[in-house]
Chain A
């Protein structure tokens, strides 16, 4: 087994993996060999949301405020309960600037790492999933650079 991974350049594998490290190592192997997109889709669970809650730190650091009388007059809506953001309601603002009642957004972020409105992704506490996010970001950057290169040649 060791020689197989050596041949393929996977050298971070140690002999004595703990069960906590195993998913992370699996993720690395999958990313290395380009299976990630497929595998990730099949592990997402068929009837639910992705199993990854937003990182605790991200949730803790969300700006929180109490709606004032003037703000309440704008009649902004919370997209989770579809109710207005009314005077004295406590609200949280996500990194994408979307605003929700605190009591409405917390249960959502404790389940998933995306904004319910625009699907912006937030960091998670899951190391394997974070590897995947980095991989996706790199892939996006690479595709972008390829496009630019192509456009500069043929544009």
Chain B
């Protein structure tokens, strides 16, 4: 048996037995019986805009695992400086050059949870989000909370933001695109419309 598969089998047992799973903070599921693709889920950390949300992850295990890191991407859309609001790609050092063979799925999921609690705007994946995070922290918090509500099942509904999205969908724009445009332009409807038309 290849080392990658053997490792994932052992890790899978480790994660599903862990305390974090018991408390519903992280979750992993197999996608196939080849152990090279998994579905992950992390709960948004308390006292962050992501609180109450459940974020799905796509986890692909390379054949060279654990000598190379797993490829991880957010499937659930999220507004965060280190995660692409469009593709879900993640900028996190341990998934790149700081990976170490002793790390596991459990440490990866916990690190991602920690990233949600402490963004690193100086090493962004999404430059637009990072700029808002640095320059308009209030708008960032509100936007991230709204995205958590819409995409991750978070509890905080924002009627004012929903109204703005509806204004644009009534003009014929697609909902997700409208939300991205508004979020990227600090919820200025005129600027977002210009952007969508350009």
Contact = CB atoms under 8 A, between A and B. Distances in A.
Q: Tell whether A and B belong to one assembly.
A: yes
A10 interface: no
B97 A44 contact: yes
B7 to A, nearest CB: 6
A79 to B, nearest CB: 4
A69 B68 CA distance: 33
Interface residues of A, number: 21
Contacts of A79: 101-102
Interface in B1-42: 3, 6-7, 10-11, 14
Nearest to B99: A49
Among the interface residues A49, A107, A114, which one has the most CB atoms of the partner chain B within 10 A? A49
A111 B67 contact: yes
Interface residues of B, number: 16
A146 interface: no
Interface in A52-83: 79-83
Contact of A83 (B6, B97, B104): B6
A108 B101 contact: yes
A46 B7 CA distance: 24
A51 B20 CA distance: 35
A44 B99 CA distance: 13
17 contacts: A46-B96, A47-B96, A48-B96, A48-B97, A49-B97, A49-B99, A79-B102, A80-B66, A81-B3, A82-B7, A82-B10, A82-B11, A82-B14, A83-B6, A104-B3, A104-B101, A108-B101
